Structure 1
Amino acid sequence: MHDLVLRAGRIVDPARGHDAVGDIAFSDGRVAEVGTVTTGARDERDVTGMIVTPGIIDLHTHVYWGGTSLGVDPDSYAKPNGITTVVDAGSAGAGNFKGLRKHIIEPAEVRILPFLHIAFPGIFALSRLVNRGESADLTLLDCQACLEVAREHADIVVGIKVRLGRGGSGNSGIAPMEMALEVAEQTGLPLMTHLDYPPPYRPEVMPRLRKGDILTHCFRPFPNSPVAGDGAVQADVLAARERGVIFDIGHGKGSFGFETAMTMLGQGFLPDVISSDVHALSIDGPAFNMLNTMSKFLAMDVPLVEIVRASTINAARAIRLTDRGTFEPGLLGDATVLDIETGTFTFEDVVGKTIEGSQNFVCRGAVLDGRWWH
């Protein structure tokens, strides 16, 4: 007997090329069967008419609640949105990482995996009233300290994080990225790079990104936009994709523009990963949450399967995980149950531009570790 069976849902699993109505069973915290499940279960849920996807992974969040000014509570955020894995995008650095692990990651119900910030204090001063770039003072960046903590917590650290630009690094130029890259190379981990207002400028950043590194905020508005003045995708952006750089939305408070997005999509440049960059300043808008961010791509006519791909298997692969993101039997028993509401919905980007959409994702439930979680 299985622990849980979801009955008669539309199972959308892009990693396996699967999109069909069927059942999915979970046993011992793992995916057990997909298709027509004849075995009974201790818990059965009828999800007729709903969409069942592998557990949604939000690749860019800030959940060091109480430890940083920008943190949100991970379970309160994840559970109503059906997110089964949240990735903290560098809230903590070497100086406060143990607190993130002990006080947030270990007690949480949702799965949390962190990037480690190259800056010793992490993102320590981002709030409505105070904004101090953690990489503006290079004395706060120490490669050795970062390396030691990355190695000590190698069981959960999925990458190194750096924030570049006027907001994240002040006048430090490209130096914080070079330091973060050095640690990433030593650890064999991907680098997630945030780029906001210059300096530095995009042409300095893009060539340094390696295969498997992640450019977050990839559809940001001008300046440092990936779109040239003539509407073409910048050549260095195309070159980065060609060599395997991963492009992540990271919506947030200031990093997603409809004009950029629709231009990129119009030229066939889909993001590899859709993520919210939810934090204390974006959770009340314009990002709101992962489902709202995904719904914006519905409004821009991105096919459902591509939205699910960018929110599940592509996110898992970006942080080199092979145990989730798809319904392969034997993998982690995580799933998200979604519905698509129809009506008239207004979506807003970070510069105040709005578009109308006729569809909106809503969460009807989730499965975490093979059990109903909602």
Structure 2
Amino acid sequence: MRYDLLVKGGRLIDPQSGVDARRDIAVADGRIAAIESDIPTDRARDVIDAAGRIVTPGLIDLHSHVYWGGTSLGVDADRLAARSGTTTFIDAGSAGAGNFLGFRRHVMERSKVRILAYVNISFAGIFGFAETLMVGECSDLRLCDPREAVACVDEHRDVVVGMKVRAGKHASGTSGIAPVDLAVEAADHVGLPLMAHIDEPPPGRSEVLPRLRRGDVLTHCFRPFPNAPVFASGAVRPDMHLARERGVIFDIGHGMGSFDFDVARSMLKEGLAPDVISSDVHLYCVDGPAFDILVCMSKLMALGMSLTEVIRAATETPARAIARPELGTLAVGGAADITMIEERVAPISFYDARGAELVAERRLVSHGIVAGGKWWPNEAVDKTDDLAHYVPAERRTHVHVAARHFGRCC
């Protein structure tokens, strides 16, 4: 058999299948055609040299905002994909029932990479997110109609992975816990999981967590005070242990203001590593501090997680969270979604949502992706020793202004 593409000589790390070895991967007609220790190069039309690189299943960013052009916080998934090693973006509630069709027609269906989505319980989706204002979509309960949300899910089930609710002082104002209760009921009705965002109380984490069921996702699980999952002493709060035992999925959802190095250290110390590493990438954190999923994975490695663990948290576990077992792994006959990365050794400073610095000795850098069976190189791979290259000079000032205003929100 002649192949369209051959990824040759890389170290394949696929946590779901348990493989960590040198393997060649052949692609034909957009599917994985063979995974073997040595496939001759003359059997493929195009060959990608992966020697010295790490090859993984295509990364899945469980929490992103990619309704580009349709919402004020959306980023262009195609522009970010190769740089971040991401082949599947899960949009976390940018669109609600009132604008989901536009998201699907104008963004999802035109994207080169896969985009799936959570439907926001708010009919309007996230509409009031900007540098100088923050109007939470759940602050007006008239917008939180579970019947509209359920109808939207039923119409778009092939691309919908669950319901999304954003609760907290910024996202839901004085609505309290009501948006969460409405979203849980809607998620139960359609038989899908719920992703729950928390920012500053009220409502507090202690009100939201007991309502989450097995398979539901708590995003921003390592957020800073207030609403942190740890006491001032550093001990993890009991409700977090209970939620883990109950099967609630912990997702970091880094974003602009939701990841704290000290909180992460405390959680990891007590064995509560995140199930999922996601970026919560949007317009106001794509230039820092989150940047993309590989930067977030690199931060967790610097805090003590292993290479295999961070790859698992960006492949196997998010695929399981969205009930898409065909994603997040590489298997003959499966989708040809592949990420090629390098573990680059060189000191680099990372920053969390509070501005705290963490000096790391290594980081993960994308060399490109195979999406839909086609090779897509990261053209900026030689510039990634300095994270500042991601930030256009004209944007640096107002990005940091936005962070000062709303840095604890998302």
1:267 maps onto 2:264 in alignment = no
Q: Write the distance in 2 (CA, Å) between the matches of 1:83 and 1:224.
A: 30
Name the amino acid aligned to 1:225: A
Identical pairs, percent = 52
- Map Cα deviations across residues 296-330 of structure 1 (whole Å, 9 max, x no partner): 11211210000000001111111110111011211
| Aligned residue type for 1:203 | S
* 1:353-364 alignment, distance < 5 Å: 353-364=356-367
1:255 equivalent in alignment to 2:258: yes
Letter in 2 for 1:257: D
Deviation digits for residues 38-90 of structure 1, max 9, x if unmatched?
35111111110000000001111101111111011110111222210001000
Unaligned runs of 5+ residues in structure 1 are none
Structure 2: how far apart are the matches of 1:323 and 1:29?
Answer: 14
Name 2:32's counterpart in structure 1.
31
8 Å CA contact 2:113–2:372 kept in 1: the answer is no
Say which of 110, 115, 118 aligns to 1:107: 110
1:342 aligns with 2:342: no
Tell whether the 8 Å contact from 2:82 to 2:366 is kept in structure 1 after alignment.
no
**Match for residue 7 of structure 1?**
8
Give runs of aligned pairs for residues 1-374 of structure 1, distance below 5 A.
Answer: 1-38=2-39, 40-374=43-377
SS at match of 1:307: helix
Shift of 1:230: 3.0
Question: Aligned Cα RMSD in Å?
Answer: 1.0
- 1:213 Cα deviation from its structure 2 partner: 0.3
Is 1:164–1:177's contact at 8 Å kept on the other side of the alignment?
yes
Residue 229 of structure 1: how far off its partner (Å): 2.9
Specify the code of the residue in structure 2 equivalent to 1:4.
L
- Flag structure 2 segments of 5+ consecutive residues without an equivalent: 378-410
Cα distance in 1 between the residues matched to 2:241 and 2:4: 46
Query: Could you state the TM-score of these two structures normalised by the residue count of structure 1?
Result: 0.98
Counterpart Cα distance in 1 of 2:38 and 2:127? 49
User: For residues 98 and 329 of structure 1, what CA distance do their matches in structure 2 show?
Assistant: 34
- Does the 8 A contact of 2:82 with 2:367 survive in 1? no
- 1:278 is displaced (CA, Å) by 0.5
The 8 Å contact of residues 198 and 224 in structure 1, kept in 2 or not, is answered as yes
Query: C-alpha displacement at 1:22, in angstroms?
Result: 1.8
Match of 2:266, as an amino acid? T
Is the CA contact (8 Å cut-off) linking 1:117 and 1:146 kept in structure 2?
A: yes
Comparing 210-219 with 17-26, greater Cα deviation is found at: 17-26
Q: Give the distance between the partners of 1:29 and 1:299, measured in 2 at CA.
A: 35
Asked if the contact 1:24/1:37 (under 8 Å) is kept, the reply is no
**CA distances 1:183-211 after superposition (whole Å, capped 9, x unpaired):** 10010010000001000111111111000
Runs of 4+ in 1 over 6 A off after TM superposition: none
Q: Which moved more, 1:53-62 or 1:72-81?
A: 72-81
* Separation in 2, partners of 1:301, 1:41: 39
State the TM-score, normalizing by the size of structure 2: 0.90
2:24/2:39 contact within 8 Å kept: no
CA apart distance, 1:105: 0.3
- The residue type paired with residue 306 of structure 1 is E
Equivalent residues, number? 374
Offset at residue 32 of structure 1 (A)? 2.0
Matched residues in 2 for 1:233 and 1:16: separation?
32
